[in-house]
Structure 1
Amino acid sequence: MRVVADIPHPDIKITLLAWNGKYLLKLELGPFEQTYKVSEMEVTGGDDEVKTWLDEEFLQGSIELFLAMRKNLHEARRRHD
């Protein structure tokens, strides 16, 4: 696995990786992680194209998913305490 880029963001750690013919777009916030895998064959513009996908709408949706993940885990733990 090769790190292609660490992409700065004030709230989310964003890493673009290349592995086994795929780009992996890894987002981390606290203990939670989201990974998006895309075949390199589907990306004609290389890693620069992948970086353009990180627009405000995508990042806001990702933050909402992180919040949903946190809520889901919190509720599961509460049900079993």
Structure 2
Amino acid sequence: MRYIKDIPNQHFKISIYQWNNKYIIKIETGMFEQTYKIEEYEIANVEEIEKSMDIEFLEKVSARFSGMQDDFANTLHRNDVIF
């Protein structure tokens, strides 16, 4: 996997990689990450990916991270892994 660049963001670490004829967009916060893949031929250049990281999309990413946190905490409590 080849690192391409980071997209600056105050809430998340957003990185773009290239692998197996795909671009991989990795969005991280704390212990969680979300990964999105797009075929290289689907876009003209990496700047189109950067443009796609708009407010509406990142708000949904944030909501998904909140859901992931809740789901993980709930299973840990339910299974007596943490108190």
- TM-score (normalizing by structure 1): 0.95
Instruction: Provide the rounded CA distance (Å) in 2 between the counterparts of 1:21 and 1:79.
Output: 41
Which residue type is aligned with residue 9 of structure 2?
H
SS at match of 2:4: strand
Number of matched residues?
80
Q: CA deviation at 1:60?
A: 0.6
Pairs within 5 Å for 1:2-81 = 2-43=2-43, 45-81=44-80
Q: CA deviation at 1:41?
A: 1.1
Q: CA deviation at 1:4?
A: 1.0
Identity percentage over the alignment?
39
Mark the runs of 5 or more structure 2 residues left unpaired by the alignment.
none
Q: CA deviation at 1:71?
A: 0.2
Which residue type is aligned with residue 53 of structure 1?
S
Residue deviations 1:10-41 (CA, integer Å, cap 9, x gap): 11000011111000000000000000001001
Q: CA deviation at 1:42?
A: 1.1
Which residue type is aligned with residue 60 of structure 1?
E
Mark the runs of 5 or more structure 1 residues left unpaired by the alignment.
none
- TM-score (normalizing by structure 2): 0.93
Q: CA deviation at 1:67?
A: 0.5
Instruction: Provide the rounded CA distance (Å) in 2 between the counterparts of 1:52 and 1:17.
Output: 16
Q: CA deviation at 1:2?
A: 1.2
